[in-house]
């Protein structure tokens, strides 16, 4: 009997030792460390002068267990800025799938006779935000291969895949001409592989001599925008002060100011007015370059059911699109994905239907949607609200998804110079303690700064964090505060 008791006690000891070992390996922080973490973060929140009068919502979880190990106003609804894109991306990849592609169709509603299309040519957009001038060239080449040299009809752009509401509900009027405030259309185009849909890239270079007009280049080359260039070249020691402004509701871009000889180019992305017409203009240009002429007009309309497809262009997969979307914090991609989810799931490409899908999908990840206010997919709205604890909950829950690698890979990486790696964190957190060890989404709108993601600590553990700073007197100060908090976490 005594032997049995000894064996039983020995077994209990072995189980206890194994449990202690397991907990040591998998716990986020030892009790003492957790206390130290709380003390350091509380001290920062309480004494940081740039947080006086502001609100800081902070949530830190174990990436292994999901347990909250630090919470400061974590259940208070706050404006997330671009951290809202974490919800949009998760919902989109869940609903649409990693391999989802946007398509653009070219169709005709008449026969081809003697190298002439006897009818209209339709360019039907279905949301692709990555169309480049080179893609329109490829579509034109396919039409040329069919022997079509002339279109006895109109060139019609069809953007009816989405509704005709171009701006999200709370987009400030002052953002109208910016690249991050570009109009959303089912038919649009991008100037470069940053894929800022609905924009042109304007580059201003110094002239050859002082007093000469500055040189201006537009990408893509297009007559859709009109350039008025008043910029002047000044001596090397002169002041560089260039303004690039588009007139409201027009495509006239005026350039003013001075640029010194030998100085670096001034570069800016400017949104166009009516991206559907912009895409049509580029397609017409591509067709002309392939020897295809028109007798009719360029206009918008609906593709008739009888129209026959001539060629189809496919975008990159959604898993690849997530990289420029999240790393570069592309507002247009976010709003396009919202409308696409609305179209695919509810049959209507609108913000109302798309945001309804986002809201529904969040429940699958344990997010309490009753705590959310969703007004767009990008976070540009000052009315969007989410508690930090709900953001960290989402980041914990998605780790189990088969697509998590794509999601995680899309996050900016601290201190990494490559724009498509470091993204919006490439110039931050360069200290060896944190460089390459923080993958997180940044966010900035006036008076708001945010940062949510994952961090590998000094002890080798992974923590999930969400930091939402609101009512800042200077939102740029928020980055410095976030970086301090991240450094504290990294030291655990």
| 3-state helix/strand/coil string of the chain | CHHHHHHHHHHHHHHHHHHHHHHHHHCCCCHHHHHHHHHHHHHHHHHCHHHCCCEEEEEEEECCCCCEEEEECCCCCECCHHHHHHHHHHHHHHHCCCCCCCEEEEEECCCEECCEECCCEEEEECCCCCCCHHHHHHHHHHHHHCCCCEECCCEEEECCCCCCCCCCCCCCHHHCCEHHHCCCCCCCCCCCCCCCCCEEEEEEECCCCCCCECEEEEECCCCCCEEEECCEEECCCCCCEEEEEECCCCCEEEEEEEEECCCCCEEEEEECCCHHHHHHHHHHHHHHHCCCEECCCEEECCCCCCCEEEEEEECCCHHHHHHHHHHCCCHHHHHHHHHHHHHHHHCCCCHHHHHHHHHHHHHHHCCCHHHCECCCCCCCCCCCEECHHHHHHHHHHHHHCCCHHHHHHCCCECCCCCHHHHHHHCCCCCCCCCCCCEEEEEEEECCEEEEEEEEECCCCCEEEEEEEEECCCCHHHHHHHHHHHHHHHHCC
On whether residue 19 sits in a domain, the answer given is no
Same domain, 75 and 127: no
Domain that holds residue 342: 30-99+319-490
Q: What is the pLDDT of residues 166-205, one digit of tens each?
A: 999 999 999 999 999 999 999 999 999 999 999 999 999 9
Residues carrying an active site annotation: 82, 85, 329
Same domain, 379 and 332: yes
Same domain, 378 and 460: yes
Same domain, 85 and 233: no
Same domain, 136 and 281: yes
Residue by residue, pLDDT tens for the chain (492 residues) are 545 545 554 544 444 444 434 333 333 444 335 788 999 999 999 999 999 999 999 999 999 999 999 999 999 999 999 999 999 999 999 999 999 999 999 999 999 999 999 999 999 999 999 999 999 999 999 999 999 999 999 999 999 999 999 999 999 999 999 999 999 999 999 999 999 999 999 999 999 999 999 999 999 999 999 999 999 999 999 999 999 999 999 999 999 999 999 999 999 999 999 999 999 999 999 999 999 999 999 999 999 999 999 999 999 999 999 999 999 999 999 999 999 999 999 999 999 999 999 999 999 999 999 999 999 999 999 999 999 999 999 999 999 999 999 999 999 999 999 999 999 999 999 999 999 999 999 999 999 999 999 999 999 999 999 999 999 999 899 999 999 999 999 999
Q: What is the pLDDT of residues 18-28, one digit of tens each?
A: 443 433 333 34
User: What is the overall mean pLDDT for the chain?
Assistant: 93
Same domain, 474 and 413: yes
On whether residue 139 sits in a domain, the answer given is yes
Among 285, 309, 333, the domain boundary falls at: 309
On whether residue 20 sits in a domain, the answer given is no
Same domain, 211 and 360: no
On whether residue 48 sits in a domain, the answer given is yes
Same domain, 301 and 374: no
Same domain, 217 and 256: yes
Same domain, 474 and 370: yes
CATH number, domain of 389, equals: 3.40.710.10
The structural domain count of the chain equals 3
């Amino acid at each position: 009997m005594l032997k049995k008791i000894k064996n039983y006690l020995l077994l209990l000891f072995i189980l206890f030792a194994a449990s202690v070992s397991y907990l040591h390996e998998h716990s986020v922080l030892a009790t003492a460390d957790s206390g130290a973490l709380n003390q350091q973060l509380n001290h920062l929140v309480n004494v940081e002068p740039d947080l006086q009068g502001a609100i800081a919502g902070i949530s830190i979880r174990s990436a292994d267990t999901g347990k909250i190990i630090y919470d400061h106003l974590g259940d208070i609804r706050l404006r997330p800025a671009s951290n809202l894109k974490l919800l949009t991306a998760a919902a989109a990849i869940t609903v649409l799938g990693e391999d989802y592609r946007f398509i653009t169709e070219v169709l005709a509603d008449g026969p081809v006779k003697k190298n002439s299309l006897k009818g209209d040519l339709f360019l039907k957009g279905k949301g692709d935000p990555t169309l480049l001038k080179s893609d329109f060239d490829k579509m034109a080449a396919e039409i040329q291969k069919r022997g079509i040299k002339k279109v006895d009809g109109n060139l019609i752009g069809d953007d009816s895949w989405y509704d005709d509401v171009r701006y999200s509900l709370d987009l400030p009027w002052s953002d109208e001409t910016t690249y991050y405030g570009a109009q959303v259309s089912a038919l649009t185009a991008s100037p470069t592989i940053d894929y800022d849909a609905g924009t042109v890239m304007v580059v201003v270079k110094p002239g050859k001599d002082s007093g000469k007009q500055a040189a201006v280049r537009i990408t893509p080359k297009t007559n859709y925008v009109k350039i008025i260039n008043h910029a002047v070249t000044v001596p090397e020691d002169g002041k560089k002060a260039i303004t690039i402004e588009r007139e409201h509701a027009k495509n006239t871009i005026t350039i003013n100011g001075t640029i010194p000889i030998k100085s670096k180019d001034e570069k800016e992305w400017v949104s166009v007015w009516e991206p559907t017409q912009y895409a049509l203009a580029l397609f017409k240009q591509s067709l002309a370059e392939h020897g295809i002429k028109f007798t009719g007009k360029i206009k918008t309309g609906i593709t008739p059911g009888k129209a026959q497809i001539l060629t189809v262009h496919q975008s990159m997969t959604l898993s690849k699109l997530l990289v420029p979307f999240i790393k570069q914090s592309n507002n247009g991609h976010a709003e396009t994905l919202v409308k696409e989810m609305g179209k695919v799931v509810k049959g209507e490409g609108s913000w109302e239907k798309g945001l309804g899908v986002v809201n529904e999908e969040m429940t699958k990840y344990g997010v309490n949607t009753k705590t959310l206010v969703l007004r767009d997919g990008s976070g540009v709205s000052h009315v969007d609200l989410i508690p930090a604890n709900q953001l960290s909950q989402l980041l914990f829950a998605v780790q189990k998804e088969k697509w998590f690698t794509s999601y995680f890979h899309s996050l900016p990486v601290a201190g990494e110079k490559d724009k498509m790696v470091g993204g919006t964190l490439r110039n931050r957190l360069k200290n060896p303690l944190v460089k390459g060890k923080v993958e997180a989404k940044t966010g900035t709108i006036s008076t708001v700064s945010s940062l949510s993601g994952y961090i590998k600590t000094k002890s080798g553990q992974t923590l999930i964090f969400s930091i939402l700073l609101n009512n800042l007197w200077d939102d740029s100060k928020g980055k410095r505060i976030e970086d301090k908090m991240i450094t504290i976490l990294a030291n655990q």
